[in-house]
Amino acid sequence: MKKQHIKLGENDRKYLESLLATGELPVKVYRRGLALLELDRGKTYTDVAETLSVCNSTVSTWGKNYLERGLLCLHDRPRSGRPIEIDGGQRAKVTALACSKPPKGHERWTLRLLADKAVELSYCDHISHTKVRQILEANEVKPHLKRMWCISTLDSRFLARMEHLLALYRLPYDPRYPVVCFDERPCFLIGDRVDPIPLQSGKVRKEHYAYEKLGSCALLMSIEPLTGRRIAQVHARRTKKEFMLFCQELAATYPEALKIHLVLDNLNTHDKSAFYEYLPADEARALAARFEFHFTPKSASWLNMIEIEFSAISRQCLNRRIPTIEELSGDELAFDLLFFGTESPDNANYQVGIRVANELDIPVVTGIKDIEVSGETVVARRDVPGGSEVFEVETPAVIAVKEGLNTPRYPSMRGRMQAKKQEIERFDPTKVDEGLQMEELEVPEKDESEAEILGEGPEAADAAVDVLENLEVL
């Protein structure tokens, strides 16, 4: 049996003892350091090997390495490793290539296209698309992504119009001078060649990839941000005539307004000359006197608040196949009559919607997790023990959803609910839906002096329905 042939120096011994006491070492360093200390204390190679569960030759090698290299034996010698195939200069060239314009006929660089081009330009003899990806990730270069923006030159004209619109939006509500935002957007009419498979429990709705192009139309829409009043028209074309027709309806909607502040973009049809082209001079002059146009800066239509409405309606109503103008117009009406509210006792939208629905005998579905609107029908799903339930109800209807669901709720509907919250003090707290107790709907204290008390219980509900009808919600 071989005895130990290692004797540590005083400094080496103290260093190893303090090093092992830290408890935060790589396993190989800890085992080598412990082996040296045990050998220094007089133990044999066999004893140390048994303690560390290694063979004698391994302990012997550690001892020899200490005699040759000192405490450097705790770590492995540097290894040559695999030769570098792509050096720093070649990486820089690949990165610069990814930031350049793609070849003719290509919309953007792909990893394989970059790899082939790098070899073609003699940047390297061979490079895989995986290596290209690693190089781009290291430099945070993403040639597959792009972002769009819409803003023109920030000159004095741009700033003047922007400040003017922002000041207009800050004006307090005055029914004599309503602020209305207007715009239009194209809608493509698309039909199904194969009937879609409807939503079922455990299965998503399916559409065939083939579709039929049936033309296009224009959706003209306005929104009054402070009240949520929304007006929409669908026309086959978008000309000065359609703009004139919309302005006529807008003027009729605000009969008591002295001047309608209309925010719109710089489209060539947005001009009061459209009134004179299609109306007698006296009617055109009277209609023009009802409006004051406020134009957004060029390439800054995002300053028009109607874009928020278009964003909501595009995601929740127009992002599907609509074959005819008639169906699109019907969807606008049906969607406007829907009440959406988060299922919570202190949510004003939910309280108003549930109470009015009960008075008007409108269908009510609560606890919904998925919603799909198709024409004048709402298909909704909610989870129940052991599976899920699917409801198909005709509009108008009240759909109360679970917290966290991105509900189809328009800014106009939310604005209308806020307006009604100031006019209705409370509802009958005894009304119960699916075991959920109705809570009182309080008028904000600061508006209490201006609020109209509609009564309590059924009397308040009847008055609430009248309010909704007067506001043209129902």
> Looking at residues 274-289, what average pLDDT do you find?
93
Share above pLDDT 90 across residues of the chain, in percent, rounded to a whole number? 21
What pLDDT score does 445 carry? 42
pLDDT digits (tens, 9 = 90+) for 326-344: 777 765 544 444 444 445 5
Q: Does residue 459 surpass a pLDDT of 80?
A: no
Residue type, 361: D
Return the higher-pLDDT residue of 370 and 334. Answer: 370
Task: Give percent of the chain above pLDDT 70.
Answer: 69
Strands 260-264 and 291-295: parallel
The structure tokens listed for 233 are 């028209």
CA-CA-CA-CA dihedral for 339, 342, 346, 350, to nearest 10 = 20
pLDDT tops 80 at residue 324: yes
How large is the average pLDDT for residues 300-321?
83
pLDDT band at residue 270 using 50, 70 and 90 as cut-offs: very high
Highest mean pLDDT among 124-133, 323-332, 442-451: 124-133
pTM beyond 0.75:
no
Confidence of residue 360 (pLDDT cuts 50, 70, 90): low
- Report which of residues 280 and 403 the model is more confident about: 280
Cα-Cα end-to-end distance for the chain: 101
Report whether pLDDT(301) > 90: no
> What does the radius of gyration of the chain's CA atoms come to, in whole angstroms?
37
Q: Please say whether the beta carbons of 189 and 320 come within 8 A.
A: no
| Matching residue, tokens 């669901």 | 405
pLDDT at residue 410 in the model: 31
Neighbours of 58 (CB within 10 A): 16
Provide the pLDDT for residue 420: 44
For the record, the structure tokens of 133 come out as 């990806």
Residue burial 171-192, b: 16+ Cβ < 10 Å; e: rest = eeeeeeebbbbbbbeebebeee
Whether residue 428 is predicted with pLDDT greater than 50 in this model: the reply is no
**Domain range 156-330, its CATH number among 1.10.10.10, 3.30.420.10, 3.40.50.720, 3.40.50.300:** 3.30.420.10
Those residues with Cβ within 8 angstroms of residue 287's Cβ, 6 or more apart along the chain or in another chain? 244, 247, 248, 251, 275, 279
Q: How far apart are CA 42 and CA 54, in angstroms?
A: 18
Give the span between the Cα atoms of 198 and 4, in whole angstroms. Answer: 81
Report how far residue 424's alpha carbon sits from residue 419's, in angstroms, rounded to the nearest whole number.
9
pLDDT of 353 reads 57
Range with lowest mean pLDDT among 169-173, 342-346, 419-423? 419-423
Residues in the chain: 474
Tell which residue, 417, 424, 452, has the closest CA to residue 228: 417
Given a contact cutoff of 8 angstroms between Cβ atoms, the answer to whether 56 and 45 are in contact is yes
pLDDT band at 293 (very low <50, low <70, confident <90, very high): very high
Residue pair 410/338 in contact (Cβ under 8 Å)? The answer is no
3-class DSSP state of 58: helix
Work out the average pLDDT over 347-370. 58
